[in-house]
Amino acid sequence: MARVCLPHIWVLILAFFLAVPVYADKTPDNPRPADGDVIIPLPDNRQMVFRPVFLGLGGAPFAQRSFRMGDPDGGFKEHPTGVSLSGSFLGEGKFGKDWLYYMAKYEVNQGQWAAVNGLPAPDRKTADTPITNITWFEAQQFLDKLNQWLFANALDKLPTSGGSKGFVRLPLEAEWEFAARGGAQVSADVFDRRTPYQQRLSSCEWFAGPKSSHGKLKAVGRLNPNPLGLYDMLGNVAEMTWGLYMIEYYQGRPGGFVARGGHYLSSEKRLRSSLRTEEPFYIARGSAPPTPNKKATLGMRPVLAAVVFGDRNTAQTYAEAWDIYRNGTGADTPAAVSTAPTSQKTRVSIDQAGQYLARLEEMAADNPGMQQELGRLKSVMADVQFIQAKADGETAYAWFKIAAERGFFVYLESKKLPMVHKLIEAAKAGKREAMIEKLTTRRAEIEANIRQSMENYSISLRQLETLDQEARQTGETRYLQFLLENNAAQQVRAAKLVAAHLQTLVKTKRTAIEDWLNELSTLGL
């Protein structure tokens, strides 16, 4: 009996201390099972696993997540652009009902491809590697076959939205990038990074070179996932999307289809969440007929989605909520406004009103009374602009002051860390355990102070970004004058860093929290 029970005891002890969950449903199609996996069956006892991608905005009918796609490092083809994204299903998020869509946890592998297409099972050595060398049209045919099989054999396994069952399709660019960046699971600063990983990129993605792929395609799910539990998002194989390529994402001249992410032959420095490539549907080969485009580095990762108006009740709910949405939160979506500062958006509206007034003045040329009233209205509008400009200047000063003070506090706290490190090493050398514990706690407190201050610093700069250049300049000048009058030379350096970092944010539309921290910790010296 002891021989039977002892191994189980050790398993329990190891699971307790190492916190390593043991899952019973590990399969070739789900090598890294986890809580929250949504599994749908495939023919031949295969599976396809999806992860929920929550928007983090609650369950209102028109809840949409506005964010910026792109990255300045990608040049004009990835210029930061505001987009808005909604989900297909209502689920239970961190704080109650929330909209979401489901993205495949892994890239479609060769075993799944064979099962859905009714082909012979591939060799075991390649069955769990991504399917490649397929055309965009073949990917669509695969998804069509899969949907028809699911509706005929596993309808109860599909999620439901508004009385409509979900279906599988290629992701939109916005869906892909939102998930690649970590979605609502990460902070705004992490979302803005080139990649959302805390670990080395080589522990999360396959790319070219001897420290990663060695130039070979790899089995899915062998490295660490991104914050949403998605594997191989940025490497291994590039992934097809649904949409046509447009330089500015959703406007401009449409071209081929869009592939997202890098692959096992991409350099490490090329991998980023914003990476996008235009792929032609056909390849011309001299005088021969063109052939559909297929590559050894291009695969697919579907999403689970649903139709918007699944039944009459859903359509009626949306109709009743439209005006409230459009005049409320919807007024701030990219569909209604650009990424310009708030004051600039207001000025555009006032300019439009001025154009309407000019037309009315022409119409009222023979009506002195109307001309007088229109003149009064123009005067009121001018007063509103003056009051707004003054208020924006006061707001900019307040946020600039907060940012500079937080930045200077980061500098002061950062100065303490080297001394604390030295004291810890000295305490270790003297084997003074109580002092080591005390100093380690103190170091953790300093690091926590720096993290919190950097979060506040980032928030302050984001608030300043919403104001126009004139207001920002007013706030900066006023605060620098205040510091000079009080002989605060070090604080002046902190304030100048705020101005530089704000200029970067306004230009790139991205925070650079690590770079900012490095510069603030020395005040740029």
What are the DSSP calls for 145-171, one per residue?
HHHHHHHHH-GGGS-EETTEE-EEEPP
User: Which of 134-138, 276-280, 297-301, 325-329 is the least confident region?
Assistant: 325-329
pLDDT greater at residue 449 or residue 379 = 449
Residue 375 has pLDDT above 90, yes or no: no
* Strand 238-244 versus strand 298-299 pairing type: parallel
pLDDT greater at residue 516 or residue 348 = 516
Residue 4 has pLDDT above 60, yes or no: no
Q: What are φ and ψ of residue 161, in 5° steps? A: -140, 120
pTM of whole model > 0.75? yes
**Mean local confidence (pLDDT), 224-249:** 96
Walk me through the domains of the chain, giving residue ranges and CATH numbers: 25-313 (3.90.1580.10), 387-520 (no CATH)
Handedness of CA 250, 192, 333, 469 (dihedral sign): negative
The pLDDT tens digits for 378-429 are 776 666 666 777 888 899 999 999 999 999 999 999 999 999 999 999 999 9
Instruction: Enter the tokens of residue 287.
Output: 């005088």
The pLDDT tens digits for 299-329 are 999 999 999 888 888 888 878 877 777 776 6
Helix pair 110-117, 136-153: axis angle to 10 deg: 60
**Mean local confidence (pLDDT), 123-145:** 96
**Mean local confidence (pLDDT), 185-199:** 93
Q: What's the confidence (pLDDT) of residue 349?
A: 55
**Mean local confidence (pLDDT), 321-342:** 64
Q: What are φ and ψ of residue 314, in 5° steps? A: -65, -45
The pLDDT tens digits for 39-71 are 999 999 999 999 999 999 999 888 889 899 999
Distance CA 96, CA 73 (A): 37
Residue 220 has pLDDT above 70, yes or no: yes
Instruction: Enter the tokens of residue 18.
Output: 């190492």
Q: Where are the alpha helices (DSSP H) in 282-367?
A: 312-326, 342-363
Q: What's the confidence (pLDDT) of residue 205?
A: 98
**Mean local confidence (pLDDT), 178-202:** 95
Q: What's the confidence (pLDDT) of residue 163?
A: 83
pLDDT greater at residue 372 or residue 173 = 173
